[in-house]
Amino acid sequence: MAKTKLMAMLTALLVTASGVATAQTSYKIGYLPSTVGQALTQAWRVGIENALKDKKNVTMQSLDAQMKAEIQVTMMDDFINQGYNAIILQPIDAAALTASVKKAESKGIPVITLNTDTMLPHAACVTMDDTGAGYMVAENVGKSLGGKGNVAILQSPPGAQAGVEREKGFRAALAKQYPNIKIVGAQNAQWNKDKGIEIMNSFLQVNKELDAVFAVNDNMAEGAMIAAESAGRLGQIKIWGFNGQKSTLALIEQGKITGTAYTNAYNQGGMAAKYAMDLLTGAKKKGAATEIIKVPPFAATKDTVAQIKAEDRW
Amino acid sequence: MSANSPLLLECKGIDKNYNGPMVLANVDFSLKRGEIHSLVGENGAGKSTLIKIITGVTNRNAGSIVFEGQSVPVEHNKIASERLGIAVIYQELSLIHGMSVAQNIFLTKEPLFAGLPIIDINKMNRLAQEMIDKYGFDLRATDIIDKLPIAQRQTVEILKALSNKASLMIMDEPTSSLTSTESAQLFKIIRLLKSEGITVVYISHRMEEVFDLSDRVTVLRDGKLVTVLEKEQISPAEIIRLMIGRALSEDESRHRMVKKEGEVVLEVEHLCCEGKLKDISFKVRQGEVLGFGGLVGSGRTELMRAIYGIDGFDSGRLTYLGKNYVPSVEKSIAGGYGFVPEERRLQGIMGGISIVGNIGVANLDAISNSAGFVSGTKEREKADKAISLLKVKPANPDVLVGNLSGGNQQKVVVGKWLIRDLKLLIVDEPTVGIDIGAKEEMYQTIERLACEGVAVIVVSSDLPELTRLSDRIIVLRKGQIIKEFAEGVVTEEDVLRAASGIVEGGTQ
Amino acid sequence: MSVSAIRRLILVGLLISIGAALSIASPSFLTLDNLMTLLQEASLTGIVAIGFTLVLITAGIDMSIGAVIAITSMVCVNFISYTHLPAYVFIPIALAGGCLIGWVNGFFITYFKLPEFIVTLATRGILAGLALIAAVKDDQGFVKNVFIQDEVFLSFGETVGPVYIVTIVFFVLAFATQLFLKRTRAGTNVYATGANPTASRLSGINTDRTLIGVYMFSGFCAALASIFLSARMMTAMPDFGIGSEMDVIASVVIGGTPFTGGVGDIWGTVIGTLFLALIKNGILKLGLSPYIQPIVIGGIIVVTVIADVWYKGFAEKRATRIARQKQALAKEGV
Amino acid sequence: MKATNWRRLIVDFRLFGILLLMMVVLSFVSDRFLTVDNLTNVLWSVCLIGIMSVGAIYAPITGGIDLSVGSIAALSGIVANVLMNVYGLNWMLAIFITLGIGVLIGWVNGMVTTKFLVPAFIVTMAAKTYLFGVAMLVSNGDQITIMQPKEFLIIGVGKFLGIPIPIYIMIILAVGSHILLKHTVFGRQAIAVGANEVSAKLSGVNPDRTRIIVYIISAVTATIAGIVMASLTQQAFAMNATGYEFDVITAIVIGGTSLMGGNGSVTGALIGAVMVGFINNGLNLLDMPSSFHPIATGLVILIALIMNQGFSLPGAVKKVLARFRTAESLK
């Protein structure tokens, strides 16, 4: 098994080395998420793998950037040096990865980014539209509160772009549509569940009237739920998460979490993989600008969560 | 005072206190050019403080110092004093491990390439070797310090001072870790230094050395100057009298070996340990003090470690209290051994914890119950008992042992065994670096233990100590028993001759 | 041959054989591009490791290096965003900032006699927080990572021929530091302070000044690495370098500088850094699960150090045996 | 009462004093601070660090350090989940086996440091790295939500007399650890080994065995913390508890335990953990940006250290100023 894989890689390389790119029969695709240890990035990987399953001539390798932009850049270099044919990348930071993406593209390796776009044009960006989804969550929260109330935000670490975009969308919507909703607190819970509990506890202490909480990922939303439940205030507070991982959807069904901005991550990964294959096989030509492919967010609440099929839950 | 005055250094009316009682009060101290001048006094008499003031490690509160005709300011410091030509050969050797002899000699003043901040290593090695050869030492400039024996390291220290063009060399207990031959070698060097016109200040607790070497002796007691003895006035008994203000009774009869008839406590048969010990056999009886003599490196310490159970041995048989015994530290302690190691600070005490803690650790079996819980009351009782038995000062069991004087530290190390049901006590160099009063107390403790029926094994390089304490002396050489003195009168010279391999006129 | 020389030879041998094995296993290993990237990686860690080696020689430790990288990159990006100062003006300022942090570390360690580990752990926290506060923000107050376009600054990430500038700087710095350590008085003082601080003081070495100097140099090296990192990434992030302490420590330790002080040199660190970078690069090539990487790296650290201790023990035993034989012969001769 | 006991007491009391002072200041700053609910929450949030600290403290007492506690905690949560929800074991049995694995990890750490004479810093740093890898491998990098068994989940979020169960666990372990340190043979041996290993050995203590037990204790409490964390967050995840080792060391050091060995205070470590908890809680209540948390913690470490060194704070400031003045005058 491993041997055949190695052989395939060797042939692929020999072919690349001989410079007959068009006659290429096998491809290597690299998948480089910000970290391998997240439900979302795992789901993307599964989506990519599924999309490539029936293509015998394609191998896929994923690497772990450990949430550090420096490491991700190194790994980009490695993919480039190893002559990968396409790279699916979730940039930890737009600015930090721009140079790497540019380098890959200049060597003829198309880069398809996930969720975070970089600053210079590349093949495509398959994005769940963080800002738009944040906006959508705020609209839902605003509607359910009747345009009035106190809201707190569980933030991502400062500088984590995805989280910031979500929060910006959320804030923009409130400012524009629900000026009477007050944001009473915003604290960094480091994407973590245990920090989510800790921060939520202090929100609950400071605000005797807290009507809704928006956590910029589901993990923190689940933490907020545990804290609110423990304080006996779960019924009074609407908790919104982001991403729509399986466990959160289950909690929405139980009525413990109000809702989340669900994206079909399997689908999203699949789309990225398909786009890469289309470019490699020549079915699609690369344009001058980055092609933005938006995966629409879906507001999963108790009423709508049933629409998400079991096989689409990640 | 002019530069060609016969006096090299003159201190007048030195006062010093460290925010507390006076450590030095109105002390005068002067040194002639090219003399060997001993500075004696019990621990705490102010010797080291005086040296610290002269070398600029600490500053005086009052008084004047004139060195080479120049007045030395109060705000003096170590580097300035070195520049003046004052060097100290420390008791705890102050060489840098991992560096070569040459690097140590030239530390902080390495020869540089002209005009560059780069060290000229070849030149440094050459200069060092020239110095070594000039004095005829057995050393190579490129030897790494770690691999040299202590005596040679001391030579390197002296070379280091010589390279500083020192006109005054202060030696603080230089022979404490040397064997007799090595000491003799050192005395030769000291006399050589004198012949070069260098003044040597010699600090030692060993009166015979002071007597042998000194041109003059300054005696301090309780921070005050007692007197300065001229060459013809010097005698060990006189110095001791002046130091402690009373005459010590030298119990001459102790030099006679005594045959003890008690039960055999430990019997060692044909003990061998590759490269260290060869076919060692001996017995030690109840109430007997068995002395072990020999040069450093003759295998004495290794033998003690083997019978205590720290290091294993290759072959041989131990019989302890009539039973075949394979030693291990834990079994030995449980069986009634006590062990006072050679290096107090490194092996004996736990400086960072209290007297109670130090004593408790060796008595955990006695102060805890079967479930492993320690009784604080019992622990304290034990500590108090040890303190009162040995008159540890201060008699506060909560004082950190690291803050005690050397003698009191040693009392704690011995004390933790005394409160046990002791059958065999092994003491390795019991009185190194402790003052005369404490030394005497240590001797009395050992004698009292023997009276109580404890078998005591004493290892010592201090020959008067060995002959005074022992009922029987075994001398080791190159890991073998070379001589046993079981009866008759034994002189220090006898032991020394045996240790050096000179037996009945022939060389071993 | 000395123990450390043999050890080094073994490590170089391993380095070459692993390299050879990788060249066979993965054809993309032995390409100019890959080797240069590998060297670039190694150099970024290595520059920090050079400073860290000096700290370790004094028997200290510096946990703040990662945070120094972060804060320095923030200082640079602030200069770029808010001033029009040219890079050759603010880069020296940023490097001086690294030295200043080292000075503060050294000051607390020497003046209050605090343990190095904790002091630098505390400054690590403080600097990490300050880096976030200093980060460039957008109009809504969110941290914004600036895409750097300052030509002079970015030139630090360029190559000379195929070789990255950072690699050249790394080797030059390594050479200079080695020269400093072995052939200057101040360098000798560093070893002396680590081997025996009391003896060093008695010999007239100002150990406090030496220690402060060493921490300043460590801060300087981290700041220097930060500039190369920012230039390479064309941006600066407030979490740059935080967590990279472990890689640096691993490189130095694999290189043979022990925690006990007084021993060690820069060539060891250079080899250690290359070794670690090679392993990391190699794991990526072998198509292993990314989860295996930490296991392999952790394992290698333990194995190298255990092998070290074992070998040293063996060598010591052998040395004492030889010494004893020699001594015996000499004595018999008399 | 003898002098050193007084001194020890004063050190402990001083810590209490600082703690009280912090409470007074914080209650002025935020009226929400001094409520039973909030204080309970603070204790609840520090309980993971607290549990780890009272066990990990033995490493510095013997002159070592344990940097692997975070990874051990993450791994044990994953292992417990696998045992319960993949192999379907009873939750108590699962916890028992997980603790056994904790013992094994600690034993390995201890063996490598003692028998192979590798510095604890490197051993546990490497362990931190490879245990994280193992955790990733076992969990396949997944962020696993633990939905059952219900009894297991009660450990983290259940309450007894209105107080969350983890707080009881922390207090029980702290009391146990305090007794172990101050009133047992093992505690005496650990302190002796830290104070002077050779001397301890010659007094009949087996330093290697003591050290191995020390790392086992450290790993076991980290395992307990991992189980509590898994239950509390209802999640098993390899990245949980990353970086906790530094918080643990911070708590221990603020509590007056020196990293050089030979002394230690379990109550101090607990107070240290609570102090860090108060700082974070206070900043949260004031809605300060998270960047202030590490700064405040860092400053508290420095201040606590300087005070533990026997400097009073105004004295220390004066000393620093005096130094600058002399530096000026030299110029």
Q: Where are the domains of chain C?
A: 31-287
Strand A86-89 relative to strand A58-62, pairing: unpaired
What does the block give as tokens for A51? 């999309």
* Residue D215 to residue B276: CA distance in whole angstroms: 36
Domain membership of residue A312 (yes or no) is no
Going A245 to A247 to A252 to A258, the CA torsion angle's sign is negative
| Cα-Cα end-to-end distance for chain C | 30
3-state secondary structure of B363: coil
Residues A208 and A290 in one domain: no
Domains: count for chain A: 2
H or E segment to which residue B396 belongs: none
D85: closest CA of chain A, how far (Å): 15
Cβ distance of B400 and D2 shorter than 8 Å: no
Confirm if A131 and A168 have CB atoms less than 8 A apart.
yes
Which residue in chain C is spatially nearest to B57 when comparing CA positions? Answer: C202
Residues A98 and A179 in one domain: no
Instruction: Decide if D306 touches C, using CB distance below 8 A.
Output: yes
Write phi, then psi, for C295 (nearest 5 degrees): -65, -45
* Residue D229 to residue D237: CA distance in whole angstroms: 10
At position D73, the amino acid (one-letter code) is: A
What does the block give as tokens for D192? 């002796």
H or E segment to which residue B62 belongs: strand B62-67
Instruction: Decide if C140 touches A, using CB distance below 8 A.
Output: yes
3-state secondary structure of A190: coil
Domain membership of residue D325 (yes or no) is no
Assigned CATH for C31-287: 1.10.3470
At the topology level, CATH places domain B7-244 in Rossmann fold (3.40.50)
What does the block give as tokens for D24? 């007074």
Cβ distance of A201 and D41 shorter than 8 Å: yes
Residue D202 has its nearest CB partner, among B339, B353, B399, at B339
What does the block give as tokens for A212? 């809704």
Burial class of residue A205, CB neighbours in 10 A (0-12, 13-18, 19+): buried
Confirm if A267 and A45 have CB atoms less than 8 A apart.
no
For chains A and B, tell me whether 3 or more CB atom pairs sit within 8 A of each other: no
Residue D195 has its nearest CB partner, among B353, B372, B397, at B353
The mean-pLDDT minimum among B503-507, C132-136, D68-72, D125-129 falls in B503-507
Q: 3-state DSSP helix/strand/coil percent for chain D, to nearest 5?
A: 75, 5, 20
What residues are paired with D160 via a beta bridge? D163
State ipTM: 0.84
Write phi, then psi, for B21 (nearest 5 degrees): -65, 160
Domains: count for chain D: 1
Reported as a single tens digit per residue, the pLDDT across C17-74 is: 999 999 998 888 889 989 999 999 999 999 999 999 999 999 999 999 999 999 999 9
Which residue in chain B is spatially nearest to D8 when comparing CA positions? Answer: B398
At position A154, the amino acid (one-letter code) is: L
* Residue C232 to residue C223: CA distance in whole angstroms: 14
* Maximal C-alpha separation, chain D: 75
Reported as a single tens digit per residue, the pLDDT across C187-229 is: 999 999 999 888 888 788 899 999 999 999 999 999 999 999 9
Residues A168 and A119 in one domain: no
Q: 3-state DSSP helix/strand/coil percent for chain A, to nearest 5?
A: 50, 20, 30
Q: In Å, how far are A264, B137, B345, B497, C136 from B295, measured between CA atoms? A: 84, 21, 22, 11, 73
What does the block give as tokens for D275? 């102090």
Residues of B with CB under 8 A from a CB of D: 308, 310, 329-330, 333-334, 339, 341, 346-354, 357-358, 360-362, 364, 368, 372-374, 376, 396-400, 416
* Residue D227 to residue D233: CA distance in whole angstroms: 10
* Residue B416 to residue D60: CA distance in whole angstroms: 26
For chains A and C, tell me whether 3 or more CB atom pairs sit within 8 A of each other: yes
3-state secondary structure of A293: strand
* Residue A249 to residue A242: CA distance in whole angstroms: 11
What does the block give as tokens for D90? 């009873």
* Residue C112 to residue D309: CA distance in whole angstroms: 8
Confirm if A196 and A154 have CB atoms less than 8 A apart.
yes
Instruction: Decide if D231 touches A, using CB distance below 8 A.
Output: no
Confirm if C215 and C59 have CB atoms less than 8 A apart.
no
* Residue A308 to residue A304: CA distance in whole angstroms: 8
* Residue B432 to residue B344: CA distance in whole angstroms: 9
Name the region of A90 (left: φ>0; alpha: ψ -120 to 50; beta: rest).
beta
What does the block give as tokens for A144? 């359910």
Residue D196: give the domain boundaries.
36-288
H or E segment to which residue A114 belongs: strand A111-114
Dihedral angle computed from the Cα positions of residues A36, A41, A42 and A47, in that order, rounded to the nearest 10 degrees: -140
At position B338, the amino acid (one-letter code) is: G
* Residue B58 to residue B67: CA distance in whole angstroms: 17
CATH number reported for the structural domain that contains residue D147 in this entry: 1.10.3470
Q: Give contacts of D251 with chain C, Cβ < 8 Å.
A: none
Cβ distance of A206 and D157 shorter than 8 Å: no
Confirm if A112 and A101 have CB atoms less than 8 A apart.
no
Q: Give contacts of D201 with chain B, Cβ < 8 Å.
A: 310, 329
What does the block give as tokens for B414? 């011995």
CB neighbour list of residue A76: distance below 8 Å, 6 or more residues apart: A32, A87, A89, A97, A100, A101, A103, A104
Residues A38 and A95 in one domain: yes
Residue to test with chain C: of A38, A73, A78, A191, most C Cβ within 10 A: A78
Residue B347 has its nearest CB partner, among D5, D191, D198, at D198
Which residue in chain A is spatially nearest to D278 when comparing CA positions? Answer: A202
What does the block give as tokens for C323? 């010494």
Cβ distance of A81 and C37 shorter than 8 Å: yes
Confirm if D44 and D167 have CB atoms less than 8 A apart.
yes
At the topology level, CATH places domain B256-336+425-508 in Rossmann fold (3.40.50)
The DSSP-derived string for C195-255 is: H-HHHHHHTT--HHHHHHHHHHHHHHHHHHHHHHHHHHHTB--TTTTTTTHHHHHHHHHHT
3-state secondary structure of B469: helix
* Residue B121 to residue B111: CA distance in whole angstroms: 8
Q: Give contacts of D261 with chain B, Cβ < 8 Å.
A: 352
Identify the CA nearest to B462 among candidates B180, B174, B93, B190.
B180
What residues are paired with A38 via a beta bridge? none
Residues A173 and A136 in one domain: yes
* Residue A215 to residue A243: CA distance in whole angstroms: 10
Q: Give contacts of C28 with chain A, Cβ < 8 Å.
A: 13, 81-83
Per residue of chain A (314 residues), what is the pLDDT tens digit? 444 555 555 444 444 444 444 445 789 999 999 988 788 888 999 999 999 988 888 988 888 888 889 999 999 999 998 889 999 999 998 889 998 999 999 999 999 999 888 888 899 999 888 899 999 999 999 999 988 999 999 999 888 888 898 999 999 999 999 999 999 999 999 888 989 999 999 899 888 899 999 999 999 999 999 999 988 999 999 999 999 898 899 999 999 999 999 989 899 999 999 999 999 888 888 788 888 888 888 899 998 988 888 888 88
Domain membership of residue A305 (yes or no) is no
Identify the CA nearest to A154 among candidates A233, A210, A90, A209.
A210
The DSSP-derived string for B277-318 is: EEEEEEEEETT-EEEEEE-TTSSHHHHHHHHHTSS--SEEEE
3-state secondary structure of D309: coil
Residue spans of alpha helices (H) in B144-232: 150-163, 180-195, 207-213
Residue A147: give the domain boundaries.
130-262
* Residue D223 to residue D225: CA distance in whole angstroms: 5
Residues of chain B with CATH 3.40.50.300: 7-244, 256-336+425-508
* Residue C273 to residue C251: CA distance in whole angstroms: 5
Residue with token string 């041998």: C13
Reported as a single tens digit per residue, the pLDDT across D127-172 is: 999 999 999 999 888 888 888 888 999 998 888 988 899 999 999 9
Q: Give contacts of C234 with chain A, Cβ < 8 Å.
A: 95-96, 98-99
D90 CB neighbour count, 10 Å cutoff:
13
Identify the CA nearest to D296 among candidates D245, D228, D236, D250.
D250
Q: In Å, how far are B203, B406, B433, C324, D190 from B441, measured between CA atoms? A: 22, 13, 14, 38, 33
Give the model's pLDDT for residue C41. Answer: 92
Name the region of B65 (left: φ>0; alpha: ψ -120 to 50; beta: rest).
beta
Per residue of chain B (508 residues), what is the pLDDT tens digit? 444 567 889 999 999 887 666 788 899 999 999 899 999 887 667 888 898 888 888 888 889 999 888 888 887 777 778 788 888 887 556 788 889 999 999 988 899 998 888 999 999 999 999 999 988 888 899 988 887 877 788 888 888 888 888 899 999 878 766 777 788 888 988 998 999 889 999 988 777 788 888 999 999 888 889 889 998 888 877 887 787 665 444 554 446 778 888 889 999 999 998 878 889 999 999 999 999 988 767 888 889 999 999 888 889 999 999 899 999 999 999 999 999 998 888 888 998 889 999 999 999 988 989 888 998 899 999 999 999 988 888 888 888 888 888 888 999 999 999 999 899 999 998 888 787 788 889 999 999 999 999 999 999 877 778 888 899 999 998 888 988 998 888 877 778 778 777 655 444 3
Identify the CA nearest to D282 among candidates B471, D274, C326.
D274
Q: In Å, how far are B171, B185, B215, B220, C51 from B91, measured between CA atoms? A: 8, 17, 22, 19, 35
CATH number reported for the structural domain that contains residue A212 in this entry: 3.40.50.2300
Q: Give contacts of B99 with chain C, Cβ < 8 Å.
A: 188, 191-192, 195
